[in-house]
Amino acid sequence: MSAAAGLADDAVAAVSARRLSRLRNVNLLGLVATVATVLAAIVCAFPLYWGLITTFKPEDEIVRPGVQLWPEHFTFQNYWHVLTTTKIGVWYVNSLVTSAGVTVIVLAMAAGAGYAISQLDFPGRRIFWGLILASFMVPIPALIVTHFELMSQFHWINTWAGVIAPQLIAPITVIIYKQFFDSVPKDFREAAAIDGATEFQLLFRIYLPMNWGITTALAIITFIGAWNLFLWPFVAVTTDDQMNITVGITQVHDAFGVSYGRDLAVAMLAALPVAIVYLVFQRKVTQAIMLSAGIKG
Amino acid sequence: MIRSRRNEILVAYALMAPFIAIYAVLFVYPSLKMFALAFTNAPLIGPGDWVGFKNFQRLWSDRLFWTSVWNTCYFVILSVIPSTVLGLVVAIAVNRLTGWLQSLVLAAFFLPYILPVSVVYRIWSWMFDKDFGIAQTVITPFTGGEHVSVFRTLPLFMPAVAFVTIWWFVGFNALLFIAGLRNISCEIYEAAELDGAGDWTTFRRITWPLIWPITALVMTIQLILQLKIFDQVYLFANNVRTDATMVMVQYILKQAFQMNKGGLAAAASMVLFILIVGVSVLQFQLLRAKGER
């Protein structure tokens, strides 16, 4: 009996000794891996830092050979120049209005459709659901010719409406809303129905507030997507005054000749809103990205 | 009861109304129209005559179209697999870390993804700049001190654009992999360790089979995304020598807006459409079958 127990003790001791030695190995290896990871992260983020720091250097320092990690003479000259001589203010407003427009309309449309498909029974429900899943497969750039034709029939070329409209095809938002509304317990619905609540009250008082977190996550990711979009605003707008900032800043180069500091300064200004939104709402952004990729976050 | 049933249908259609209107006008109609347009000789705006499969025959014999198909596929090969593999590597590396260090490192990898393409373009054309770009210090040892204009050297163009694209997307891919890794429970690893499984065995027998579905997902997402490549190629080519670096979306735009050939552009769009749908369905099935085995 005691021999058996001793054997078992030995076995446990052997396992823990093996573990300990492996732990030590892992610690050394782990340290190396951690250092390598951090170094890789620094290398990956370096272009961002380099782009940013260049905007604070005067032009003669920018073209100086060698790696100068901090400007000798810190200057806002580049920013001042692009703010006063380009139409960046107008482009900002255009981007802001169209991105906010896309966000509001997409969310309103998706919440309504998601609720109807998830909670209500009506003829055509399956067809609409099929249509949503089908539109998920269609590459929107393939529709660019007919979208352009349609927008010009509406006389919406070079308008905010024209930039917004084709971006409203956002099946993933409807799909996510439906999934989240599906998972709201039926008890709430029955209790509220007994109290005589209408469907609209159910949606606005129970279903939407319960999924407030997902609404903000979707709003943030939709806004960032709309702000960053290049192809459609590039096609739909031909005049300087109606350009979005992502398109507009690629024009500055042509207008002022080569000036690295100014080119980068205007780019940093274009990136500023999305960078701030990301840094403030990091968790929401990552959650929304995982959700739209089909992984529960 | 009948009244409330009718009420439910009414409410449902009221809620569906914006969706139906938007999808009918901006999705169903343009899709059908594109399909119809592909068989006509219509200009960009205005009616045209039915020409059957003539547009597709013309695409078949157009060398520029084949260049664009080749460049698109070349770019996909250069970008999709490396960005997926690197995404996995970064995910495993980041997953080991804890606390603030993990958030910081993840943010460093992820931040590029959040930027607009024009900003990515500006940053990297500065990095690679022929005269003053900091990346030239890495390039010159290979060329014997010679500075290289990366985006104006044809053989370097696509690899360089792919490189920038990988940098842009690696954090996004890593994020998806991290989500997948977190879904694997710790107990499986503890059980494996008790059974005396080594690191490699653990990875091969546990992590990989469980991570495979995510890999399929990431690769499919990347493939669909990169087949639609236009922005980076257009910006980095900077209107120089666009024919040699042309990609499919660019070909569609050229036919539609420069050549005013709506029908031909629609036909090219259909080819892109079929390619994306076909490849994604095929790849998804393939990867799923392998994952199940």
Q: Are residues A214 and A88 in the same domain?
A: yes
Residue A171 contacts residue A136 (beta carbons within 8 Å): yes
Instruction: Read off the pLDDT band of B29 (50, 70, 90).
Output: very high
Closest chain A residue to the Cα of B86, Cα to Cα: A40
- The stretches of chain B forming alpha helices (DSSP H) are 2-23, 29-37, 54-61, 63-96, 99-114, 117-127, 136-143, 154-182, 186-194, 199-202, 208-227, 231-237, 248-253, 262-292
Collect all residues of chain A within an 8 Å Cβ-Cβ radius of residue B93. Answer: 33, 36-37, 40
Q: Are residues A186 and A121 in the same domain?
A: yes
Contact flag A199-B257 (C-beta cutoff 8 Å): no
Contact flag A44-B97 (C-beta cutoff 8 Å): no
Q: Best of B86, B126, B271 to disrupt the A interface by mutation (most A CBs within 10 Å)?
A: B126
Evaluate whether residue A148 is within a structural domain.
Answer: yes
Burial of A156 (0-12, 13-18, 19+ CB in 10 A): middle
From CA B46, how far away is CA B42, in angstroms rounded?
Answer: 7
Tokens read off for B1:
């009861």
From CA A44, how far away is CA A39, in angstroms rounded?
Answer: 9
> Rounded mean pLDDT of chain B?
88
Is the CB of residue A164 less than 8 Å away from at least one CB of chain B? Answer: no
Q: Are residues A125 and A179 in the same domain?
A: yes
Closest chain A residue to the Cα of B280, Cα to Cα: A137
Task: Please report the pLDDT score of residue B71 as a whole number.
Answer: 95
φ and ψ of B40, to 5 deg: -125, 170
Collect all residues of chain A within an 8 Å Cβ-Cβ radius of residue B176. Answer: 289-290, 293, 295
Tally of CB atoms within 10 A around A86: 20
Tokens read off for A21:
């030695």
**Spans of chain A below 70 pLDDT:** 1-26, 252-258, 294-297
Q: Report ipTM (2 d.p.).
A: 0.89
Range of the domain at A102: 78-292
Residue B181 contacts residue B256 (beta carbons within 8 Å): no
Give the model confidence (pLDDT) of B154-185 as tens digits: 899 999 999 999 999 999 999 989 887 877 76
Evaluate whether residue A63 is within a structural domain.
Answer: no
CB nearest A263 (choices: B19, B37, B122) = B122
Residue B1 in this model has a pLDDT that exceeds 50 = no
Task: Please report the pLDDT score of residue A2 as a whole number.
Answer: 47
CB nearest A230 (choices: B97, B116, B253) = B116
Tell me the count of A-B CB pairs closer than 8 A. 260
Residue B105 in this model has a pLDDT that exceeds 80 = yes
Task: Please report the pLDDT score of residue A117 as a whole number.
Answer: 94
Residue B26 contacts residue A236 (beta carbons within 8 Å): no
- Which residues, including other chains, have CB under 8 Å from residue A231's CB and lie 6 or more apart? A141, A144, B230, B231, B249
Q: Are residues A91 and A134 in the same domain?
A: yes
Q: Are residues A184 and A141 in the same domain?
A: yes
Q: Are residues A164 and A286 in the same domain?
A: yes
Collect all residues of chain B within an 8 Å Cβ-Cβ radius of residue A294. Answer: 217
Cα A278 to Cα A10, A249, A282, A287, B87: the distances in Å are 54, 21, 5, 12, 20
Task: Please report the pLDDT score of residue A17 as a whole number.
Answer: 59
Which of A255, A40, A253 lies closest to B121 in space, CA to CA?
Answer: A253
Task: Please report the pLDDT score of residue A193 as a whole number.
Answer: 80
Is the CB of residue A25 less than 8 Å away from at least one CB of chain B? Answer: no
Residue B191 per-residue DSSP state: H
CB nearest B273 (choices: A142, A152, A203) = A142
How many domains does chain A contain in total? 2
Q: Are residues A30 and A174 in the same domain?
A: no
Collect all residues of chain B within an 8 Å Cβ-Cβ radius of residue A128. Answer: 16, 19-20
Residue A184 CA to its chain's centroid (Å): 26
CATH number at residue A272: 1.10.3720.10
Q: Are residues A114 and A188 in the same domain?
A: yes
- For chain B, what's the residue count? 293
Q: Give the mean model confidence (pLDDT) for residues B215-223.
A: 86
Contact flag A199-B11 (C-beta cutoff 8 Å): yes
Tokens read off for A257:
């000749």
Contact flag A149-B33 (C-beta cutoff 8 Å): yes
φ and ψ of B230, to 5 deg: -150, -55
Task: Please report the pLDDT score of residue B283 as a whole number.
Answer: 66
Q: Give the mean model confidence (pLDDT) for residues B39-53.
A: 89
Which of B44, B10, B144 lies closest to A144 in space, CA to CA?
Answer: B44
CB nearest B116 (choices: A65, A145, A271) = A271
State the nearest Cα–Cα gap between B57 and chain A, in angstroms.
19
Residue B193 in this model has a pLDDT that exceeds 70 = yes
Give the CA angle between residues A290, A218, A190 to the nearest 5°.
100
Contact flag A110-B19 (C-beta cutoff 8 Å): yes
Query: Which 3 state secondary structure label does DSSP give B40?
Result: strand
Evaluate whether residue A59 is within a structural domain.
Answer: no
Evaluate whether residue A60 is within a structural domain.
Answer: no
Evaluate whether residue A68 is within a structural domain.
Answer: no
Q: Domains (ranges, CATH) in chain B?
A: 61-292 (1.10.3720.10)
Query: What type of residue sits at position B10?
Result: L
Q: Record the pTM.
A: 0.89
Tally of CB atoms within 10 A around A185: 9
Give me the residue label for tokens 């992984």.
A295
Selected residue with higher pLDDT from B280 and A35: A35
Query: Which 3 state secondary structure label does DSSP give B50?
Result: strand
Evaluate whether residue A50 is within a structural domain.
Answer: yes
Burial of A194 (0-12, 13-18, 19+ CB in 10 A): exposed
Q: Are residues A20 and A157 in the same domain?
A: no
Task: Please report the pLDDT score of residue B231 as a whole number.
Answer: 93
Closest chain B residue to the Cα of A44, Cα to Cα: B109
Is the CB of residue A37 less than 8 Å away from at least one CB of chain B? Answer: yes
Collect all residues of chain B within an 8 Å Cβ-Cβ radius of residue A275. Answer: 111, 114-115
Tokens read off for A165:
């409209």
Residue A287 contacts residue A297 (beta carbons within 8 Å): yes
Instruction: Read off the pLDDT band of B134 (50, 70, 90).
Output: confident
Q: Are residues A33 and A100 in the same domain?
A: no
Q: Are residues A31 and A109 in the same domain?
A: no
Tally of CB atoms within 10 A around B239: 8
Is the CB of residue A116 less than 8 Å away from at least one CB of chain B? Answer: yes
Evaluate whether residue A66 is within a structural domain.
Answer: no
Residue A244 contacts residue A98 (beta carbons within 8 Å): yes
Evaluate whether residue A84 is within a structural domain.
Answer: yes
Instruction: Read off the pLDDT band of B68 (50, 70, 90).
Output: very high
CB nearest A45 (choices: B8, B111, B179) = B111
From CA A206, how far away is CA B79, in angstroms rounded?
Answer: 45
Q: Are residues A88 and A199 in the same domain?
A: yes
Task: Please report the pLDDT score of residue A25 as a whole number.
Answer: 62
Task: Please report the pLDDT score of residue B290 as a whole number.
Answer: 54
